[in-house]
């Protein structure tokens, strides 16, 4: 079986993925557009070695920050892993919905007219959403039609999405907005304590202002701080604000694009959340 764990940043996806992989003797496959890059660890909340409960993890740390990697590349890579592990249980985990959809569903990378579902977003927000999908092309932020087209192009020209794999479970973790936002703010503070600014400095000095740094929340804001464009306090405030907005967009995307079974994260008793998910899978 294939278990897909989705949801916004800071909701416990990594922890759940490891527990389920251990229980079902599964491999773990990354579906986060930023975690494919080496050296971007703290800012992407990448799983630490001590957090891993199973040995086999795929599509983490496969590219250097100065290498391009698109959703099209991801589709080829993840399907190869799925096809090579047909007799294994597989846990897919991450917050980049487009990567998950590109891997599991049948669609082509065409450019065609699509229904506008982004009326509530500014051009800047659409541009950031597109960058978070791993898109590596060039589209101007003011070209709204192209931004929307590229955000929607994997929807198969309006045809019904066709899932290519059987026995697939789409599990979403959620939390009340005020609780989630508090967790996101706290996690940003923890990232800073763990050395986020040092991580950004190392990567920036080694590779320069490469595209992935302009794409990742936290990285581009800290670079702006290094360049003297914003203060330290403004940097932290902006990272937290953008992380909260990104979480909201993740909810919107998953609710529009996939049939997700949602479970509320119990931060005080995460074992309860795990039990509820396991019960759903086994029933």
Contacts 24+ apart (CB under 8 A), 73-80: 73/134, 74/33, 74/36, 74/99, 74/102, 74/103, 74/134, 75/102, 75/103, 78/29, 78/31, 78/102, 78/103, 79/103
The model carries a pTM of 0.82
Domain hosting 228: range is: 2-282
> What's residue 136's pLDDT?
52
The per-residue pLDDT for range 196-231, each reduced to its tens digit, is: 999 999 999 999 999 899 888 999 999 999 999 999
- Residue 138 phi/psi, 5-degree rounding, is -115, 115
Nearest-angstrom CA–CA distance, 38 and 11: 23
The per-residue pLDDT for range 147-184, each reduced to its tens digit, is: 877 776 544 434 447 899 999 999 999 999 999 999 99
State the Cα angle at 8 between 192 and 77, rounded to 5°: 95
How many separate domains does the chain show?
Answer: 1
Beta strand 162-163 pairing with 105-106: antiparallel
The per-residue pLDDT for range 27-68, each reduced to its tens digit, is: 999 999 999 999 999 999 999 999 999 999 999 999 999 998
Residue with tokens 């959809």: 101
How far is the CA of 123 from the CAs of 58, 82, 140, 152, 220, in angstroms? 34, 36, 10, 15, 18
State the Cα angle at 119 between 116 and 121, rounded to 5°: 120
Q: Any alpha helices (H) in 109-195, and if so which ranges? A: 123-132, 144-152, 177-194
Which residues, 6 or more positions from 191, have their beta carbon under 8 angstroms from its beta carbon? 42, 43, 45, 218
The per-residue pLDDT for range 9-22, each reduced to its tens digit, is: 899 999 999 999 99
Report CA 114 to chain centroid distance, whole Å. Answer: 23
CATH number, domain with residue 29 = 3.40.50.300
pLDDT higher than 70, residue 26: yes
**Are 95 and 7 contacting, i.e. CB atoms less than 8 angstroms apart?**
yes
């Amino acid at each position: 079986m294939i278990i897909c764990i989705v949801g916004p940043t800071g909701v416990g996806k990594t922890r759940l993925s490891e527990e389920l992989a251990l229980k079902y003797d599964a491999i773990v496959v990354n579906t986060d557009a930023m975690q494919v890059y080496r050296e971007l660890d703290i800012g992407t909340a990448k799983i630490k070695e001590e957090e891993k409960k199973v040995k086999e993890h795929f599509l983490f740390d496969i590219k250097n920050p100065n290498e391009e990697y698109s959703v099209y590349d991801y589709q080829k890579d993840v399907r190869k892993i799925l096809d090579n592990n047909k007799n294994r249980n597989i846990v897919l985990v991450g917050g980049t919905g487009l990567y998950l959809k590109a891997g599991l569903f049948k669609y082509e990378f065409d450019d065609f007219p699509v229904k506008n579902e982004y009326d509530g977003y500014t051009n800047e927000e659409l541009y950031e959403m597109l960058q978070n999908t791993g898109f590596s092309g060039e589209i101007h932020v003011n070209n709204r039609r192209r931004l929307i087209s590229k955000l929607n192009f994997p929807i198969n020209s309006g045809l019904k999405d066709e899932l290519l794999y059987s026995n697939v479970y789409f599990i979403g973790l959620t939390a009340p907005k005020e609780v989630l936002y508090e967790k996101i703010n706290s996690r940003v503070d923890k990232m800073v304590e763990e050395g986020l600014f040092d991580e950004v400095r190392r990567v920036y000095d080694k590779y320069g202002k490469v595209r992935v740094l302009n794409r990742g929340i936290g990285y581009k804001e800290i670079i702006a701080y290094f360049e003297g464009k914003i203060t330290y306090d403004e940097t932290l405030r902006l990272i937290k604000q953008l992380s909260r907005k990104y979480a909201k967009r993740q909810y919107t995307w998953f609710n529009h694009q996939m049939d997700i079974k949602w479970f509320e994260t119990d931060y005080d008793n995460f074992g309860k959340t795990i039990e509820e998910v396991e019960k759903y899978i086994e029933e």
